[in-house]
Structure 1
Amino acid sequence: MPKRLWIFCFTFILVLSSFLAGCSNNKAGSQEKTLIYGRGADSKLLDPIQVTDGESLHVTEQIFDTLVRYEPTSTKVEPSLAESWTTSPDGLKWTFKLRQGVKFQDGTPFNADAVVFNFERWMDKNNPYHKGGEFPYFGYMFGGFKGDKGAVIKDVKALDEYTVEFDLNYPQGPFLSNLAMSPFGIASPTAIKKEGPEQFAQKPVGTGPFVFVEWKKNDHITLKKNKDYWRKGYPKLEQVIFRSIPDNTARLTALKSGDIDIMDGLNPNSVGLVKGDSNLQLFNQPGMNVAYLAFNTQKKPFDNPKVRQALNYAVNKEGIIKSFYSGLAEPAVNPIPPFMWGYNGKIKDYEFNLDKAKKLLAEAGYPNGFEVDFYAPTEPRPYLPDGKKVAEYMQADFAKIGVKTKIVTYDWQTYLDRTGKGEHSMALFGWNEDNGDPDNFLYVLLDKDNTRTPDAGNIAFYKSDPLHDLLIKAQRSSDQEERTKLYQQAQEIIKNDAPWVPLVHATVPYAAKKEVTGFIPHPTSTLYLENVDLK
């Protein structure tokens, strides 16, 4: 080989090697550490107050901070944008001392006025920036909006530059835990005023560890490190990319090939494959969730409790767990999981009994059954790895009692929109608990207050005055023993009225490359990525 050609080839190889090394996101010595997070669906919006879906909130949790937050491994509340707080003896006044020296990602100072701006925007439907959505979580968690009979928050005001006071209409037991929920991330007032609420939901600005860069719909969302983040030394990553890969198996293939670094929505029957791969690691999130079949109680035939009870008897939960969860789930008897305080362990489940189901249908006036649409999600959910196949499994048993179902599917965002408006007759759904309090299951998902469309949390549209009275009384108590008794009574009403078939509480598996460090699945499904690193 001529000397000049040899020198050229050698130089080219060196340059190519350097380029490839720089492209790797898993090398400890690389200049830019990028974590690619594989998930099953795209986000809906990126303004946390406007959404309820995990795919949106997992992204906004990186961009925004809340006043208080949960500890990394529990639902115990710790300081965040608020350094400390006090409450009055009657529970009607809460005072928060705010962290100083914090700035939003657009340079706007974080202070008491910014907190007041956000809460006034959320709570007052007449506020000029209360646009772009229905702000569902605010209504769910705080009893409605300003002027509503059950509204918890009366007023929020700045006492000085770094002190905020909340005046409540009623005491609320889970008030502090509610404030830690990611929908209540504090947004830049400057950005909202500049962009408008609708555009802000596409270009979010908070105080969190990562800054929004770009969003290519149904493909990826890119975030970069907030170099001025107030938690010194964090985040450890330079960049995070959320990549949408709808099929669970395809997502695992992408992980094994190195196209992504971490994934949620791992099929339970793929857990063994991950355990057997020395290049991968497995994480399990406790099952603080519920998958359920909701009956639209405002539509025939599900306005009849006997019909709802009949279908409870026609669901083989053990068969579903064996077929679709590989044992990583337990049958759900109540909406809340057995390890949560307030659980009523005395309630007996509807056993799988098709004869009892037929008898109840006959008593309800449907001796030959009926035909009905059956909504099922196509994208994998943490509590429901394959909604369509679960629906098909249930469909076969329903047919045995004369109930002929037509399975209806939509993409996840359309599914949320249609069920939130009450267009379904029955629908598979689920919930990841947000704050460690039974209120977040029972009030959000089953109280009559949360049947407001188009973003109903209670997609059974179940309205029970006795249940409502118990749940509101429990909300307004700070005595956990009293609240436990009230929630146990509430679960008895729910069991008898049967607005749902509670299906399972699922253990949620995640998989990651062995180079990923610092990842801890949170019981509430909150995604903390500021501690994550690549070695």
Structure 2
Amino acid sequence: MTIRNDQNFSQISRRDALKLGLAAGVGFSLFGASARIVMAQDGQVLKAINPAFDQDWSPLRGGGRTFRWNSFWWASPMYFDADGKLQPYVFTSWESPDKKVWTFKIDPKAVFSDGSKITAADIKGSWEVSSMPNTKNQRVDQVLSKVAGYKEMSDGSANELTGVATPDESTVVCTLTEADPIFFMRLANHIVPITKAEQSRGSDGEEVADWYKPDSKAVFSGPFKLTAIDIDAGTLTFEPNEKFFGPKPKLARIEISSIEDNVTATSLIKSGEYNAHTELVTSTIIQDLGPEFSAGPLIPTSQHFWFNTSRAPMDDPKVRQALIMAVDRDGLFKASYPDGPHKKADQILNSVPGADNSGFEPYPYDPAAAKKLLAESSYGGPERLPKLLFVGISGPAIQAAAQFIAEQWRQNLGITAVDMKPQQDAYAGPDQNAVQIFRDDVGTRVPDAVSYLAGSIASTSSNAQNKLGGYKNDKVDSLLAEAATKAADDPDRVKLAQEAQKVFRDDWAFLPWYSQAMSRWATKDVKAMEKNLDWQVVAPWDVSIG
């Protein structure tokens, strides 16, 4: 079934159908040439809703809504399970004596859906096509940026990863531009999935248009294969890959339909017509669909309010400290996610080694001390402060959080000039050069404290440069640089990262909010929909309706 805001089906809209009670026992479907009724005896069918009519389902984009389905139809070199433990997949072994040259071995059983072997050339080709600028893979740099030749590919001056060698069809050797003790972890995701290179990449090195569609006779490396896609109707159908080299898939079919309205989507899931969603975020999701629907493990991603330390009044440390200490952060979390599934955060790190017992002292809630600090600041009190402008305030839960913060500042500090905008990275209003507070997430695709902090508080990170206003603390940078040279299992790697986070704490540059749960977005009768830190279903072959 497909619903578009401007589209009817057989002269009856979905809302009209709901009013007539049609969704209670019968499901409309647009899979195939005409509508058909989907009855309970269809059995093992995952019926999922996608919240938009996405025009591009290439698995090589490295992000976006469609990326979240990658693990169902594409294999990855390795993957992290729901507990953050590394598991082999296409690669069964990896080693490096110096952490600069890495050797990976391919599972001899690994084949595509046509039965052809997955070779080292396929892996190199998949990495290369993802590295081409025109492919527009959003996060390929997180995976391959340290591979020799990547820089030249990313700037368009080359079309080959010179650091990737294929001595035989079952061996991949990667030479890096610098030693990286956790390079093997960076490959354990679906950001750059494994494709048949001769299909996905043309003779010019660029991605072939629509290569992944059934009409192109595409072959697939994951447990399911795409058997039908109608971009205009917003529907996709997947069926089991009979040649899959892993466990036999339990589902008989996956049907994805595009429904843009969250209220309608919630109603259809509640009625039982659908049982899963790509990403359903509403302020009443637990009340509407039960705690199981949005439950999931915490992943190393967290949401916070970042202060641009270069803009008034955030250029005064006492103002920043006052603003943080004036907010009851327990109340902040309850105002936004009273029923979960996320967890209140006191620091940046979560769900990585070193996050527990990190030595980070939570910021206190002390309105009296906050008021005193503001009076001692260069602004002397609330009257002389410029207007405080938030951006990234989109969605009901985020709006509730920002409004709670503003009310706390009004009650405890007397600040009344506060404004909020939904735009985050591309805010272009008249006050664009005066934005002081950015709501945004930080995180990592590997369970590593150094990587987490390097992407959030190191001076080279986008977060430090853009959200924190060019933040640079030499002590933080040096601690993280030293930590990055330590082996993954070296205790000093974690200790140095913890120390860097403690140094950052004393700069009072962010208001902690929550650590993110990776929701199942599936009803309780759908089994094994747990996701990992890569936002992927961990074991799609085990998903069943039961």
**TM-score, structure 1 length as denominator?**
0.76
Change (3 A) 1:38 1:338: same
Task: Tell whether 2:350 aligns with 1:337.
Answer: yes
**Aligned equivalent of 2:183:** 175
Change (3 A) 1:50 1:506: closer
Contact (CA 8 Å) 1:98, 1:111: kept in 2 or not? Answer: yes
Contact (CA 8 Å) 1:64, 1:205: kept in 2 or not? Answer: no
Contact (CA 8 Å) 1:292, 1:501: kept in 2 or not? Answer: yes
Contact (CA 8 Å) 2:78, 2:89: kept in 1 or not? Answer: yes
Q: Shift of the alpha carbon at 1:444?
A: 1.9
Q: Shift of the alpha carbon at 1:530?
A: 3.0
**Aligned equivalent of 1:257:** 271
What code does the residue aligned with 1:378 have? S
**Aligned equivalent of 2:360:** 347
Task: Tell whether 2:338 aligns with 1:323.
Answer: no
Contact (CA 8 Å) 2:248, 2:541: kept in 1 or not? Answer: no
Q: Shift of the alpha carbon at 1:178?
A: 1.5
Change (3 A) 1:137 1:70: same
Change (3 A) 1:526 1:432: farther
User: Whole-Å Cα distance in 1 between the matches of residues 312 and 200 of structure 2?
Assistant: 44
Task: Tell whether 2:229 aligns with 1:214.
Answer: yes
**Aligned equivalent of 1:285:** 296
Q: Shift of the alpha carbon at 1:485?
A: 0.8
User: Whole-Å Cα distance in 2 between the matches of residues 463 and 205 of structure 1?
Assistant: 47
Match of residue 131, structure 1, among 113, 131, 134: 134
What code does the residue aligned with 1:389 have? A
Structure 2 SS opposite 1:497: coil
Change (3 A) 1:341 1:452: closer
**Aligned equivalent of 2:42:** 30
Task: Tell whether 2:437 aligns with 1:443.
Answer: no
Deviations 1:35-57 (A, max 9, x none): 2334666769645554445x343
Deviations 1:95-143 (A, max 9, x none): 11113464556888531112222334556xxxxx332437445148746
Q: Shift of the alpha carbon at 1:387?
A: 1.4
Structure 1 SS opposite 2:163: strand
User: Whole-Å Cα distance in 2 between the matches of residues 475 and 238 of structure 1?
Assistant: 44
Q: Shift of the alpha carbon at 1:167?
A: 1.8
Gaps of 5+ in 1: 1-16, 124-128, 380-384
User: Whole-Å Cα distance in 2 between the matches of residues 318 and 284 of structure 1?
Assistant: 21
What code does the residue aligned with 1:285 have? G
Change (3 A) 1:320 1:452: closer
User: Whole-Å Cα distance in 2 between the matches of residues 48 and 357 of structure 1?
Assistant: 49
Match of residue 391, structure 2, among 361, 369, 375: 375
User: Whole-Å Cα distance in 2 between the matches of residues 302 and 241 of structure 1?
Assistant: 46
**Aligned equivalent of 1:5:** none
**Aligned equivalent of 2:11:** none
User: Whole-Å Cα distance in 2 between the matches of residues 240 and 298 of structure 1?
Assistant: 49
What code does the residue aligned with 2:541 have? E
**Aligned equivalent of 1:477:** 486
Q: Shift of the alpha carbon at 1:241?
A: 0.9
Deviations 1:493-525 (A, max 9, x none): 221123321212254554644542332343653
What code does the residue aligned with 1:230 have? F
User: Which piece of structure 1 moves more, 203-212 or 362-371?
Assistant: 203-212
**Aligned equivalent of 2:419:** 406
Gaps of 5+ in 2: 1-24, 30-34, 155-160
User: Whole-Å Cα distance in 1 between the matches of residues 505 and 495 of structure 2?
Assistant: 16
What code does the residue aligned with 1:168 have? L
Q: Shift of the alpha carbon at 1:158?
A: 0.6
Structure 1 SS opposite 2:333: helix
Deviations 1:245-290 (A, max 9, x none): 464x554322112242124546575535545xxxx95562122331
User: Whole-Å Cα distance in 2 between the matches of residues 274 and 352 of structure 1?
Assistant: 34
Change (3 A) 1:30 1:297: same
Contact (CA 8 Å) 1:45, 1:202: kept in 2 or not? Answer: no
User: Which piece of structure 1 moves more, 140-149 or 386-395?
Assistant: 140-149
Q: Shift of the alpha carbon at 1:78?
A: 1.5
Structure 1 SS opposite 2:542: coil
Structure 1 SS opposite 2:418: strand
What code does the residue aligned with 2:185 have? S
Task: Tell whether 2:532 aligns with 1:522.
Answer: yes
Structure 1 SS opposite 2:461: helix
Task: Tell whether 2:504 aligns with 1:494.
Answer: yes
Q: Shift of the alpha carbon at 1:24?
A: 5.9
Structure 1 SS opposite 2:304: strand
Deviations 1:442-474 (A, max 9, x none): 112222333299xx8977653333322222322
